A and B are shown apart, each in its own frame.
Chain A
Amino acid sequence: MVTAVHDRRVKISITLLRILIGWHFLYEGIVKLYNPEWTSFGYLASAQGPFKSIFHSLTSPSLIDWVDNLNVTALLVVGITLILGIFEKKGALVGIGLLSLYYLAHPSLPGIQQINVEGNYWLVNKNLIELVACIVIYNYPTARFFGLGHFRKGQLTKKQ
Chain B
Amino acid sequence: MNWTRRDLLKGLGGLPILGAVWWAGAASVVNRKKKRSEILNQLNISPSLPHAVPGIGGDPVKVGIIGFGIRGEQLCRSLGFATSEWKEEMKLAAEEDPNNKALEDFLAQDKLNVNLAGICDVFDVRAEKALQSFSTPENKIKRYSTYKDMIMSGEIDAVVIATPDHWHAPMAIEALNNNVHVYVEKPMTHTVEETYLLREAAKNSKATLQVGHQHRQTLSFRTARDIVEKGTLGHVSLIQTNTNRNDDNGAWNYDIHEQANTQTIDWDQFLGSAPKVPFNKNHFFRWRKWWAYGSGLSGDLLTHDYDRLNCVLNMGIPDAVSASGGIYTHNDGRNVPDVLQVNMEFPGFSTGSSQSKGKEKGMTFCYSASLGNSFNRPTILMGHDATMELGNKLTIWPDVASTRYADMLETEKMRPHIPIYQYNPAANVPDAISSATSQYFADKGLMWTYIDGVRVDSTFLHMREWLSVIKNGGEVSCGIKEGFEEAISAHMAGLSWKLGKRIEWDSENQVLKPVEGVNFDEVLLFNGKWKVPTEVLEG
Q: How far is the CA of A142 from the CA of B251 in the complex (A)?
A: 69
Contact in complex: B26, A34 (CB < 8 Å)? yes
Contact between B21 and A27, CB atoms less than 8 A apart: yes
Residue A136 at the B interface, CB < 8 A? no
**Complex contact B11–A159 (CB within 8 A):** no
Q: How far is the CA of A1 from the CA of B17 in the complex (A)?
A: 32
Q: Which chain B residues border A22 with CB–CB below 8 Å?
A: 14, 17
What is the 8 Å Cβ interface bit string for chain A, positions 132-159, against chain B (1 contact, 0 not)?
A: 0000000000000111111100001101
B10 pairs with A150, CB closer than 8 A: yes
Tell me the B residues contacting A by CB distance below 8 Å: 2-4, 6-7, 10-15, 17-18, 21-22, 24-26, 28-30, 33, 98, 427, 429, 431, 436-441, 453
Give the CA-CA distance A94 to B9 in the complex, in Å: 27
Count of residues in A whose CB is under 8 Å from the partner chain: 37
Main secondary structure of the interface of B (DSSP, over half): helix
Query: Bound state CA distance, A4 and B241, in angstroms?
Result: 74
Contact A42 B15 (CB under 8 A): no
Residues of A within 8 A of B440 (CB): 42, 45-46
A119–B274 alpha-carbon span in the complex (Å): 62
Chain A residues in 8 Å Cβ range of B13: 146-147
Question: How far, in whole Å, are A80 and B22 apart by their CA atoms in the complex?
Answer: 10
What residues of B have a CB within 8 angstroms of the CB of A156 in the complex?
2-4, 7
Interface string of A30-72 (1 = CB under 8 A from B): 1101110101011101100000010010000100000000000
Residues of chain B with a CB closer than 8 A to A157's CB: 4, 6-7
A159 and B438 contacting across the interface, CB-CB below 8 Å: no
Chain A residues with CB under 8 Å of B18's CB are 26, 79-80, 83-84
Is A85 a contact partner of B25 (Cβ separation < 8 A)? no
* Interface residues of A, Cβ cutoff 8 Å to B: 19, 22-23, 26-27, 29-31, 33-35, 37, 39, 41-43, 45-46, 53, 56, 61, 79-80, 83-85, 116, 145-151, 156-157, 159
Closest chain-A Cβ to B38's Cβ sits at a distance in Å of 17
How many A-B pairs fall under 8 Å by CB? Answer: 87
- Interface majority SS (helix, strand, loop, mixed), chain A: helix
Residues of chain B within 8 A (CB-CB) of A39 are 437
Q: Which residues of A contact B11 (CB under 8 A)?
A: 147-151
Instruction: Indicate if the CB atoms of A19 and B29 lie closer than 8 Å.
Output: no
B99 to A, closest residue via Cβ: A56
* Docked pose: A153 CA to B427 CA in angstroms: 52
Contact B2 A34 (CB under 8 A): no
CB < 8 Å neighbour of A27 from B7, B15, B25: B25
Residues of B within 8 A of A53 (CB): 98
Shortest Cβ distance from A31 into B: residue: B25
Q: List 19 A-B contacts (CB under 8 A).
A: A23-B17, A26-B18, A26-B21, A27-B21, A27-B24, A27-B25, A30-B22, A30-B25, A30-B26, A31-B25, A31-B29, A33-B25, A34-B29, A39-B437, A46-B437, A147-B11, A148-B12, A156-B2, A157-B6
CB of A48, distance to nearest CB on chain B (Å): 12
In the bound complex, do residue A19 and residue B17 qualify as a contact, i.e. CB atoms below 8 Å apart? yes
